[in-house]
Amino acid sequence: MVEMDQHEGNYLNICRHYRAMLATPKDTLLNEEERKELLKNAVVYNLLSPFDNEQSDLLHRLLADKLVEHIPMHK
């Protein structure tokens, strides 16, 4: 789904896909670094999407994630 939305340039949906991957149980992901990469991608694609209410709301939800403290450059 991420590749399809990248092709279409729908950055907000890409951000949502990465957040959905983050919502999976921790034991299914390999390690904490992989979770950080998913969060970084979600933040970047959120910032690339056009500003509207959904984008702003999603940005605040991303900032509420405790893992964002470990990636200060993206915060």
Structure confidence at residue 28 (pLDDT) = 67
- Predicted TM-score (pTM) of the model is 0.85
Cα dist. 68→9, 39, 40, 59, 75 in Å?
25, 7, 8, 11, 6
- What does the pLDDT look like over 49-60, one tens digit per residue? 999 999 999 999
pLDDT of residue 27: 63
pLDDT band at 29 (very low <50, low <70, confident <90, very high): low
Contact by Cβ (8 Å): 12, 55: yes
